[in-house]
Amino acid sequence: MQRECRKSYNKYMSHDSYVNSKKKKLFSFIKSLRKDYCGVPTLQKDGLRHDDNQAKASILNQYFSSVFSNDEHLQPPPDMGPSPYPDIPNIETCCEGITCLLNDLDPSKSHGPDEVPARLLKSMAAEISPSLKLIFSASLHQGAIPQIWKQAIVTPLF
């Protein structure tokens, strides 16, 4: 029985269609065979060793929070006088361009802070592009970016 399973497995792995199929499937399989993933090792803080995942996440969060600055406390740049460069022309957005960009989204990627899946944005591109055009145009006209657009989900890799 075990011999037949190995034989069938080897036949499947040597078949050209598996290797020539999408790269993601092949690399997912190779990754599943790896045994060397250990995650974040034990961390030390204040002389204590921490093995718990929640404690390690808290330690990493405290560290990353301490090394980044908050934009609200930065002083504006000094006035350098008039610019020697010409102003750029107004940027115009169009529904076709927004639809094209939405159609290029990768649905296998995770969503952002708004928790709207890329698959939904891609499937509804033509329907939502007029609304997005209004939002983008208002942002450009006002010269301000909504605060939510400045947020991101950052996953630190050890």
Distance between CA atoms of residues 119 and 105, nearest Å: 8
Residue type for 88, please?
I
Residues in the chain: 158
Distance between CA atoms of residues 114 and 110, nearest Å: 11
> What range does the domain containing 119 cover?
91-145
Q: For the chain, what is the domain count?
A: 1
pLDDT for the residue 36: 60
Torsion of CA 60, 62, 66, 71, to 10 degrees: 100
**110 within some domain:** yes
What is the sign of the dihedral through the CA atoms of 81, 86, 92 and 96? negative
pLDDT for the residue 119: 93
**101 within some domain:** yes
Q: Quote the radius of gyration of the chain (alpha carbons, Å).
A: 25
**123 within some domain:** yes
**133 within some domain:** yes
pLDDT for the residue 147: 86
**37 within some domain:** no
Q: For 93-122, what is each residue's pLDDT tens digit?
A: 999 999 999 999 999 888 888 889 999 999
**54 within some domain:** no
**27 within some domain:** no
For residue 140, pLDDT beyond 70: yes
**104 within some domain:** yes
